[in-house]
Amino acid sequence: MARQKKEMAGPPPPAPWMSTFSDLMNLLLCFFVLLFSMSTVDADKFAELAASFASSFSIFPAGATAIGDGILISNGVSQLNELSEYFSSMGLANEGDMDQSMEAAKAEIEREALEQSEAMAAEIEDMLQDQDITSGIDVDFTSQYVQLQMNGALLFDSGRAILRGEAKNILDKVGDILINYSDELIEVVGHTDNVPISTSQFRDNMDLSYYRARAVMDYLIDQKNIPRGSIQTSGRGEDSPIASNETAEGRALNRRVEIRIYRELE
């Protein structure tokens, strides 16, 4: 009787293609590790730069994650090569270059923003002159907003947050100007001097400054049709003086209401 061949226990031998596939995977892993080790880009700083360009120059519209047209297309390993080329073309091959590029971008954004604010401020000053209400109102600007600063004595009696009759005439004209910017965010900010106040109506200067700003905001909404969604208010009390509180003249300057028109970079 012929002897039966004994079968060996264990898994079947691997297919020939698996060895080639395994070698390919090892090579790809080494390739990615090598690329990672050669990279000197600070991810956080690059993210800040990308966000800055995205909001200011619309380089990455609609929240896209690709860096430029055709740079990060889903085409496998070639993305990494193109990313390296992008860094080189942008001069971001090292941290020093990135810092310089970020500073240059910020300086350009700041310069453009100041120019736009200056143009808006000049436009508002012309309208104030046409309305003949330049007395007691100062116009200033930053890269973020244009500000109309109104002397508190024009608007309120001492220690009160009820608009004076003369104040309503002024706010009527100011409101006619503000309606031209109702698409922007408008903020009314109240300020006081450092003389303590404590009454049944106001606990302290912070309360007084808020209710004064609120009185101005409510008048602009109710009487001049400034959209409620476009205007907000805040009170700073005595915390942001523009003059010394040691003199009567300085305290008078600190008692003020500011109307800020925030603008976006165009």
CB 230 within 8 A of CB 185: yes
Q: Please give the model's pTM, rounded to 2 decimal places.
A: 0.63
Residue type, 16: P
Give the pLDDT band (50/70/90) at residue 63. Answer: very low
Residue 225 has pLDDT above 80, yes or no: yes
3-state secondary structure 174-229: HHHHHHHHCCCEEEEEEECCCCCCCCCCCCCHHHHHHHHHHHHHHHHHHHHCCCHH
Cα(266)–Cα(257) distance, rounded to whole angstroms?
Answer: 28
pLDDT score at 86: 57
Cβ-proximal residues to 9 (8 Å cutoff; 6+ apart), any chain: none
pLDDT digit string (tens) for 100-122? 778 888 888 889 999 999 999 99
pLDDT digit string (tens) for 7-57? 555 555 666 667 777 777 778 877 777 776 666 555 565 566 566 555 554
pLDDT score at 103: 83
What's the half-sphere exposure (Cβ side, CA atoms, 13 Å) at 91? Answer: 9
Residue 100 φ/ψ region, left for φ over 0, alpha for ψ in the -120 to 50 degree band, beta for the rest: alpha
